[in-house]
Amino acid sequence: MSATPASPASSDSPDSSGAFVPGPGGSVVVFLEPDAGPAGTAAGSGSGVRLRVADPRLPALLVTDQGATRGDGVFETMSAVASAGGPAGVVHGAAAEGLTSHRVRKEASHLARLASSAEALEIPLPPTDAWRRAAAAGLAAFARGMPGADAVVKLVATRGPEGAPGGGHYVRGAADVGSDGELAETTAPGPQVPAQLTGTYWVLVSPVSEGMAAARERGLKVLLLDRGFDSGASERAPWLLMGTKSLSYAVNMAALRFASSQGADDVIFTSSDGKVLEGPTSTVLMARRVPQADGTHGVELVTPLRSSGILAGTSQGTIFAAAAQAGWALGYGPLEPADLFDADAVWLVSSVRLVAPVTHLDGEELPQDADLTEQLNAFLAEDLAPGDHGPNGAG
């Protein structure tokens, strides 16, 4: 017996242009699709990719899509802050109509990491500008339905359905789309179309979960869990895709469920040789207050060693950039669990939950430093370019 798709709720309706507008608490999706139409027409964008704004509750994904059947894809999750009359880069369409615009935090870092992950998986991407336009279109629709609300912006790229041209698999050596989204050269007349875009691409814009803010305010009880690999595994076995943000998140979610069953909120993974790695959805930061010659105390901010196979944190990169300007000492591990227990404060940081203090580790209460937590959130809000501390840095 086939299921009948649910109809959009009465609170969801198209605007005067016919575009989908979500109701209170709703979401909106924008699909990025190959486009061969001429620029300036209804079908053409001139960039080789057209955007389609839609209701995310309606059927859209083929059951053979390898993102669903194999977790074969990549994603990024960004935070968008509502702000009336924001700076360049906000959703200009919404602002033009007098609605609340949004500032996407760390957008360049997220797009760079999306490209890096896609390159590791050999999944071609639409051009970077197309992702920016898709996020702006989704946020414009979101702002019409929920003016003044912050949003979560999720970018997803899958390898596409089995049976797509090339079997849905990217073939090395064929007409290529680089990780920077450059179009392949062609001698055919008319606008260039991205070659090999056999994947499925979308941007989902949703409200921020109330639980995220609550966890940030109360702090986190965290368990240390063995990931099952030593800290050199990523260099020996790059096919494990450690350090990429792929859709294969089943292990991460299983770890969080286990933590919940033990009365904890989150997890910090360790390697089998005893090194601190990362959280399932976050980056680890720790701080030490260091006595100075003049009798004051400086701050040393440390995160785990990236070469141990962890994801380069966009929030960590932005915080480090601001902390460097403030004169803080910075370090990239390697860290062991004892370092966390001895620290003056420990946090899990991520783009949506922001800076969340760790209050307990394996049941042991950790020191809290409200002033440092406030300062780290202020550093994050500065939204500085991470430079060497970003996804392509050497830390």
Per mean pLDDT, which range of 124-133, 167-176, 339-348 is the poorest? 167-176
Asked if 39 and 191 touch (Cβ cutoff 8 Å), the reply is yes
**Number of neighbours of residue 395 by Cβ within 10 angstroms:** 19
Supply the pLDDT for residue 189. Answer: 43
Residue type, 363: G
Asked if 145 and 66 touch (Cβ cutoff 8 Å), the reply is no
Per mean pLDDT, which range of 133-142, 214-223, 328-337, 385-394 is the poorest? 385-394
Residue type, 368: Q
Distance CA 354, CA 348 (A): 8
Q: Tell me: cis bond preceding 334? Omega within 30 of 0 counts.
A: yes
Q: In this prediction, what percent of the chain has a pLDDT beyond 90? A: 61
Supply the pLDDT for residue 18. Answer: 60
Asked if 79 and 351 touch (Cβ cutoff 8 Å), the reply is yes
Q: Residue 10: which pLDDT band, with cuts at 50, 70 and 90?
A: very low
Distance CA 278, CA 234 (A): 14
Predicted TM-score (pTM) of the model is 0.82
Whether 392 shows a pLDDT value over 60: the answer reads: no
Q: What is the pLDDT of residues 245-265, one digit of tens each?
A: 999 999 999 999 999 999 999
Strands 354-361, 345-350: pairing is antiparallel
Q: Residue 390: which pLDDT band, with cuts at 50, 70 and 90?
A: low
Supply the pLDDT for residue 164. Answer: 67
Q: Residue 182: which pLDDT band, with cuts at 50, 70 and 90?
A: very low
Q: What is the pLDDT of residues 39-75, one digit of tens each?
A: 433 344 556 899 999 999 999 999 999 999 999 999 9
Q: What is the pLDDT of residues 278-306, one digit of tens each?
A: 999 999 999 998 887 887 888 999 999 88
CA within 13 Å, CB half, 274: 4
Supply the pLDDT for residue 265. Answer: 96
Distances (CA, A) of 211 to 81, 206, 216, 219, 353: 17, 14, 9, 12, 9
The 10 Å CB-count burial string (b at 16+, else e) for 167-189 is ebbbeeeeebbebebebbeeeee
Distances (CA, A) of 218 to 113, 228, 343: 30, 30, 19
Name which residue leads in pLDDT, 193 or 35. 35
Helix ranges (DSSP H) in 72-228: 92-96, 107-121, 128-145, 210-218
Whether 336 shows a pLDDT value over 70: the answer reads: yes
The helix/strand/coil state of 96 is helix
What is the pLDDT of the chain when averaged over all its residues?
Answer: 82
Distances (CA, A) of 237 to 29, 95, 123, 241, 289: 35, 48, 19, 8, 37
Supply the pLDDT for residue 391. Answer: 52
Distance CA 48, CA 58 (A): 25
Whether 1 shows a pLDDT value over 70: the answer reads: no
